[in-house]
Structure 1
Amino acid sequence: MSTRVFRGSVGSLDALSLEDVKEFQENVTPKSDEVPAVQPHLFVQFRHPDEPVTWQTIPNEMKIVIVKFLDYRSRQSLRRVSRSDKLLVDTTKFHVTSFVIKATVLPNFIFICSLPKNFVFRSYSTQELPCRFIKAVKIPNLKIERLEIDQGAIVDLTELLKQTKQRITIRTELFHLQGSPTYPVGILVVNFLEFLDVKDVLIDGHCPPIIFELMIVLDQWKKSRSITFNHFNDLPINPFLHVNILRLSLEKISIEDARKVIKVFVNKEILKAGTISFYIKTREPIEFWKFLDHTDYELSQKLATHGALPSVQVFIMPNSDSLVFPVMTKEKLFCGCACKMDDNLVENFKETLGL
């Protein structure tokens, strides 16, 4: 059969041959054992082959698909056509793979917007960047996968976000605050987090205790799915235990804290392997023999890379019927994740933790 364009609640077909009509009737006619007691009427509307297809005649479901592929300017142009088109654009998600703002040696910032099919690369001055950023995040139904911002840009962005008449909420899967190991996390980072609807938080730099105390009381922190601190910090472990995925670089971890991490993560409720894990690096060596009761020698050999063999203990997860929680320690590394107890346990353990 030839290609058809369906329209309306029942459908619309292009001009058909007699054979096509017969085939169509055979396909839509139920078998004798499937015929209901009261058969509904079947209406088929035929469209003349020369009749043009216009935007107004396209089904709304198809319009949504089309709008998803439009860039920002095209969406804004369509938004101004009619009230119904404005509503359509505003209710259709605008998917962005990542927003990246990087500082340069000059008083400029590089702004990169990555879309599923292409990317936009711009260089803005310190004065231009905040306005451009606010304009971008005000797009209705905007959804960002990764929002990566240098700490140097946070000050101006936060100040302008505070000045907007209507409060802006930036929805992003992951927020990455970029910085150097010695660059201190400032108070405006905490203020910027308040404007986010975020699942995964990744922080670079040194976080002073006073800033950390302000950060952990935010709803964004409490509702996070995962938290990562890339650089070494001296932080308490308790504020991190609510997350499902934890990545930390700590100066040291006490025996009590190590036992607490194992107990909390092993007892988390989980249905899927790989969604619960922790990975903690320390500057000081870990006294693993003080909190691991024994070592699974076979797993230890399989997980060995170079140097001394790691210590590995497999814990049973009481809130899961089919998952276990292997914990591995080696020198200055302490990690574990939920895995299925099968032949692929070692491979899944390595893949989940990036070993």
Structure 2
Amino acid sequence: MVKAVVLGAAGGIGQPLALLLKTNPLITELGLFDIVNTPGVAADLSHIATPAKVEGYLPPDDGLAKTLKGADIVVIPAGVPRKPGMTRDDLFKINAGIVRDLATGIATTAPKAFVLVISNPVNSTVPIVAEVFKQHGTFDPKRLFGVTTLDVVRASTFVSEVINDLSKAPEIVVPVVGGHSGVTIVPILSQSSHPVLSLLDGDKLKALTDRIQFGGDEVVKAKDGTGSATLSMAYAGAEFATKVIKALAGEKGLIAPSYVHLDADKEGGAALKKEIGKDLDYFSTNIEIGPNGVERIIPLGKLTDYEKQLIAAAVPELETNIAKGATFQKAPPAKV
């Protein structure tokens, strides 16, 4: 019996994400919340012949609390999409308050749920959620995840294009570490399951790295002002949520990338901090997921000199992003 909740379920990511979760046979309840249209989305999904019972709520009459009651896993794609010319950091001023309010609802209604944050900028919104939970005395770093799976999905796809075999895309695995925006996204192409470095000279390697780091810009530009990556993000979010749900069900050895608090595994987190040369609180890397959440933070392993340079460039940006999220919740700006 697993209850999954999507906060922001009527949006561009929320609807396809809710659809994918509805088709997951391990989910028996699906709770949907948004500020508009959620009952309609729930009614539509409820006609699909899968086990999950679907309910959708709006803010009135404690809708958020009703949605969250009994939740095992909560996925948060809520927020405004990125538009041309906007960075993920530009979204912070709007999305920070949205995430804070939703996190408050989770901390008070479903504090033991696994929380999967999709809302951008992930590098900053995950620290906001953590600070909210700390203020309520319910923070467990093992149960908080920033969803960075899309970076790995993109890397797999783009590498399959380089080797000219899209049929290999589903089985290609490229570790992507750091964070979830621009230069904080660091693809470890030297550890690709399908060797690709031999096909890339310096310029081609940089071009592929840049494409993985800024792949979201391709979508924003192609949508010409109408939105950002929603369908691919929903797919990636569902992929990660499925691994968390499988771990809840007792499956072992589940490895996935995630942006996590490094106290989730103190030994592994300390080793990772030594690798990156900085005492950061959060970092995205491969983790092992178990029934209690983060079981193990996996070291980066051997890196090329180029990859070490990418890590070095990512760290200061991550440090700024993390501080912005933590500071916002500790001393949120006055409402205007």
Question: TM-score over 0.5 for the alignment?
Answer: no
Counting helix residues as a fraction of each chain, which structure ranks higher?
2
State which structure, 1 or 2, has the greater radius of gyration over its C-alpha atoms.
1
**Higher-RCO chain (CA-CA 8 Å, sequence separation at least 6):** 2
Normalising by structure 2, what TM-score?
Answer: 0.31
Normalising by structure 1, what TM-score?
Answer: 0.30
